[in-house]
């Protein structure tokens, strides 16, 4: 009986290992192609950063509207607005804050700032919250259109969240680029909570790699550029065109309206720009914010992203035109997360299985089954690809956060994998409920705005 159990365990472990090894190989080669393509782009064009002084100057600054959706944000929205008003140096902007009639605390916090500065405009939606973030954004868009009808001149809409720390020069960047590029995205640099370095820090690692290389490459090859929902500017004509095509610029049935908006706008012919710009002091013009610092909150957030992008997004926006291979490639990368999690789970199960099998072989005295030569080659290649990927991850983090965080990025890769697996389970449940007809709901996490010491 013991031999039969051991034989069965060996077989299961061998199949799990083969499945995971092939999955890692495919994913690793895909990542390697991205790395090589980015290196070629970097060699051809040099640094991906531009000094702010090299941007085209406008004779007349454009009017900009900043949209900040706010549901249950009383703890952070006041500090966020005061910081933005103190930092922005652009001469013509308005901050629209979308609130709900049943969220009195947030309304009061926004009203307290709006009473002292007319550039802040409180917009209270018609429906009680939470609805969806897109519904909130559409309420602000309608308020902005009413202001335009009364003579307000607005060239573009800038999106931010209630916990964002804005960069003083970002409106200058948007103003300079919006005429040539109707969609402009600047990088996002998550702040790292020193008391939750593993969880909050894994966002820093992922965004440093994504917004340091992958988004740059995506824009360079002409693929549709998904917006991040913060730190992005959208020309008014793009929103008007989306409203004509879909009834409203922001899709209220979507969990990831920012991601879809960028791709839908690209399908209408509007090209996006991913702008990595250095301010006069040499710092990157980027959005900074604290991301979730607990595993539970991170799983909730990433579950929503995975549902909206990799599952529901596949159904909702499909693929690019048949001949645009680069766009197909990038969308496939967006949607591989659920499969990658399955492969990852198989790998962890295989590792546990190998350990159990090794102990049983020692106890029973039976020799372990040798690894197939072909599988051994795949595992060797995967080991090299893993080392390459971790090196790239550390280099990306180090470039944005310094060498200490680069070292932390290595154990954080494991934490990120575990969060992704739990998020995939949550995403599967959310997607099933959507397929069953459940309305989408704004499943937001609790936000934290940094204190004065962190801002400095």
Pairing between β-strand 183-185 and β-strand 232-235 as defined by DSSP bridges: antiparallel
State phi, psi for 341 to the nearest 5 degrees.
Answer: -70, -40
pLDDT for residue 118 is more than 80:
yes
Here the tokens at position 443 are 């499943």
Per-residue model confidence (pLDDT) at position 454: 57
- Using 50, 70 and 90 to split pLDDT, how confident is the model at 125? very high
Instruction: Give the mean model confidence (pLDDT) for residues 191-220.
Output: 92
Sign of CA dihedral 36, 41, 46, 48: negative
Architecture of the domain defined by 50-292+447-455: Alpha-Beta Complex (3.90)
Instruction: Give the mean model confidence (pLDDT) for residues 373-386.
Output: 93
Q: Where are the alpha helices (DSSP H) in 373-402?
A: 373-401
What tens digit of pLDDT does each residue of 242-267 get? 999 888 999 888 888 888 888 888 88
Here the tokens at position 32 are 């390697």
Per-residue model confidence (pLDDT) at position 13: 86
- Find tokens 């090209």 and name the residue: 271
**Domain spans in the chain, listed from the N-terminal domain onward:** 2-41+334-435, 50-292+447-455
What tens digit of pLDDT does each residue of 421-453 get? 999 989 888 888 888 888 887 777 788 888 754
Mean pLDDT of the residues in the chain: 90
pLDDT for residue 456 is more than 50:
no
Instruction: Provide CB contacts within 8 A for 10, sequence distance 6+.
Output: 357, 368, 369
Sign of CA dihedral 319, 320, 323, 328: negative
Instruction: Give the mean model confidence (pLDDT) for residues 348-355.
Output: 86
């Amino acid at each position: 009986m013991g031999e039969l159990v051991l034989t069965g365990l060996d077989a299961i472990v061998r199949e799990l290992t083969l499945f995971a090894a092939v999955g890692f190989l495919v994913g690793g080669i895909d990542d390697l192609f991205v790395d090589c393509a980015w290196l070629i782009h970097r060699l051809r064009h040099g640094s991906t950063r531009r000094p702010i002084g090299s941007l085209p100057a406008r004779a007349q600054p454009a009017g900009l509207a900043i949209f900040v959706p706010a549901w249950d944000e009383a703890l952070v929205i006041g500090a966020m607005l005061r910081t933005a008003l103190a930092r922005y140096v652009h001469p013509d902007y308005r901050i629209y804050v979308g609130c709900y009639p049943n969220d009195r605390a947030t309304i009061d916090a926004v009203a307290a700032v709006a009473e002292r500065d007319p550039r802040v405009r409180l917009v209270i939606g018609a429906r009680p919250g939470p609805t969806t973030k897109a519904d909130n954004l559409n309420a602000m868009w309608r308020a902005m259109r009413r202001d335009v009808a009364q003579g307000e001149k607005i060239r573009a809409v800038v999106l931010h969240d209630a916990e964002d720390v804005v960069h003083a020069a970002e409106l200058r960047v948007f103003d300079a680029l919006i005429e040539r590029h109707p969609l402009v995205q600047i990088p996002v640099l998550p702040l790292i909570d020193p008391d939750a370095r593993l969880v909050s820090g894994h966002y820093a690692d992922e965004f440093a790699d994504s917004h340091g290389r992958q988004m740059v490459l995506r824009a360079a090859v002409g693929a549709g550029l998904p917006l991040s929902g913060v730190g992005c500017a959208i020309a008014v004509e793009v929103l008007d065109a989306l409203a004509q095509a879909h009834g409203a610029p922001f899709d209220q049935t979507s969990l990831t309206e920012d991601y879809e908006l960028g791709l839908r706008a690209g399908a209408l012919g509007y090209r996006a720009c991913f702008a990595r710009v250095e301010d006069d002091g040499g710092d990157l013009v980027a959005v900074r914010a604290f991301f979730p610092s607990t595993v539970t909150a991170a799983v909730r957030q990433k579950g929503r992203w995975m549902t909206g992008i990799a599952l529901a997004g596949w159904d909702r926006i499909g693929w690019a035109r048949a001949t645009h291979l680069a766009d197909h490639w990038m969308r496939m990368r967006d949607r591989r997360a659920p499969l990658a999690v399955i492969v990852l789970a198989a790998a962890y199960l295989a590792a546990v299985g190998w350990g159990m099998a090794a102990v049983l072989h020692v106890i029973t005295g039976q020799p372990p089954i040798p690894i197939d030569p072909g599988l051994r080659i795949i595992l060797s290649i995967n080991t090299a690809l893993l080392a390459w990927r971790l090196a790239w991850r550390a280099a990306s983090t180090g470039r944005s956060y310094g060498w200490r965080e680069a070292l932390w990025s290595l154990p954080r890769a494991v934490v990120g994998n575990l969060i992704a697996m739990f998020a995939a389970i949550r995403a599967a449940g959310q997607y099933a409920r959507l397929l069953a007809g459940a309305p989408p709901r704004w499943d937001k996490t609790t936000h934290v705005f940094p204190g004065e010491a962190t801002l400095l």
